[in-house]
Amino acid sequence: MKKVVVGAAILDGDGRLLAAQRAEPPELAGGWELPGGKVDPGEDDHTALVRECLEELGVVVAAGTQVGGDWPLTGDYVLRVWLARIIEGEPEAKEHLELRWLTADELFDVAWLPADLPIVRAVQGHLGGI
């Protein structure tokens, strides 16, 4: 079985994408990612996505279209990403250093983690529609 990390490409009503700056581990700290985390044993991807967004950002999200399939991560992990909308709450950096809402023009203004960069390129094609 593949080990899965889920990520949320959270878009707002203006077509901006939420980027989150990692606080740890040291080798990833300062890099920007789509928020998310590991799927727990026995948990399904969707439940993990909603749980991680609540834990990390304090928001409830509704997931839409999946962006691509299994994106490679280091080790045995793959990253699966869904477009998402916030249905409850205002995002706060509970576990990240900083959050930014990026407009289409700003999408590549942050230093995305290597795994996230091609996914953000794929998300670019979805801006304006979920």
CB of 36 to ligand 523, least distance (A): 3
Q: What is the DSSP annotation of 93-118?
A: -SSSSEEEEEPGGGTTSS-B-TTTHH
Does the protein bind ligand 523 through residue 17 (CB under 6 A)?
no
What's the length of the chain? 130
* Spatial CA neighbour of 96 closest among 58, 63, 122: 58
Distance (Å, whole) CA 125 – CA 47: 26
From 12, 29, 38, 87, residue interacting with ligand 523 (rule: CB under 6 A): 38
Would you say 75 or 128 has its CB closer to ligand 523?
A: 75
Number of residues binding to ligand 523, judged by CB under 6 A: 14
Q: Does 73 bind ligand 523 (CB under 6 A)?
A: yes
Residue 54 binds ligand 523, judged by CB under 6 A = no
- Report which of 22, 128, 115 is spatially closest to residue 73, judged by C-alpha positions: 115
Residue 23 binds to ligand 523 (criterion: CB under 6 A):
no
Tokens standing for 78?
């793959």
- Which chain residues interact with ligand 523 by CB under 6 A? 5, 7, 28, 33-34, 36-38, 73, 77, 79, 113, 115-116
